[in-house]
Amino acid sequence: MKLSALQSFKKNGEKITCLTAYDASFAKLFDACGVDMILVGDSLGNVIQGGENTLGVSMEDMIYHTQAVAKSMQNALLIADMPYQSYTHAQQTLENAKRLMSVGAQMVKFEGGAEHEASFKILQESAIPVCGHLGLQPQSVVEMGGYKVQGKDDAGANKILEDALLLESWGVEVLVLECVPETLATKISAKLSIPTIGIGAGVNCDGQVLVSYDMLGINTGHLPKFVKNFLTGHDSIQSGVKSYINAVKNQTFPNDKHSY
């Protein structure tokens, strides 16, 4: 899928679907089912490597998995995460983003707002598409005091909104909002001209993303409130994935049960 299609989705009010994939087989299956975007997430640190968080994922890990996923995709837009400490300054950000793009990524994603101004701007100047990530930022989970909903008070909400507007002005083309109140995500989505992709951010974002292992019930550990097992009641992964796509497109997922 071309980047320009994302703007059309938002303009026409059609919800965008996204799932994570870390290998060729799942990526090929999700792509064939019609998922709009596939994210090679640093969540592989949890679901593939068995880590407590994403901090142990390296650039080499991301390059390896992005290359594997890219080989089997034909239709979906491929986004690759920039791992922890791979974008600490502008030049490092540019070099690492180029490495991910060289193995098949069509867009890179990294977490944070105003503190990464130089990194956002150098990618904008270099015409490398960027997906932002605000709200709960898994790479900053230690500093944030754990996996907690962000933006619940006025100061926190205003900071996320301000960062969202800054990111748009710096050329970010898509914005993930994770674990923020539905009212805040709705407000941000209305103010931005770029699409928002929610995960634990309510139904009014322009699209939704889930970790595929969570969505398929493979992850047997503690699951966040926003996760739903779409394999339940289905006899194949394909039908479960299509159920997820339909639920997002029809705006029946997420409902209040899966929102904050």
Residue 58, CA atoms < 13 Å, CB-side half-sphere: 3
CB atoms within 10 A of CB 222: 7
Domain segments of the chain: what residues?
Answer: 4-258
Q: Looking at the chain, which runs of residues are DSSP E strands?
A: 16-20, 37-40, 77-81, 107-111, 130-135, 174-178, 196-199, 207-210
Examine the pLDDT at 145 and tell me if it is beyond 70.
Answer: no
Q: Are 101 and 61 in contact (CB under 8 A)?
A: no
**pTM for the model:** 0.95
User: pLDDT tens, 7-41?
Assistant: 899 999 999 999 999 999 999 999 999 999 999 99
CATH superfamily of 4-258: Phosphoenolpyruvate-binding domains (3.20.20.60)
Cα separation, 50 vs 172, in Å, equals: 31
Q: What is the DSSP letter of 103?
A: T
Q: Are 135 and 160 in contact (CB under 8 A)?
A: yes
User: pLDDT tens, 75-115?
Assistant: 999 999 999 999 999 999 999 999 999 999 999 999 999 99
User: pLDDT tens, 189-239?
Assistant: 999 999 999 999 999 999 999 999 999 999 767 788 899 999 999 999 999
Q: Give catalytic residue positions.
A: 178
Q: Write down the residue that tokens 């805040």 correspond to.
A: 184
The residues near 20 (Cβ < 8 Å, ≥ 6 apart) are 38, 39, 40, 41, 43, 44, 209, 210, 211, 212, 213
User: Helix/strand/coil (H, E, C) string of 63-74?
Assistant: HHHHHHHHCCCC
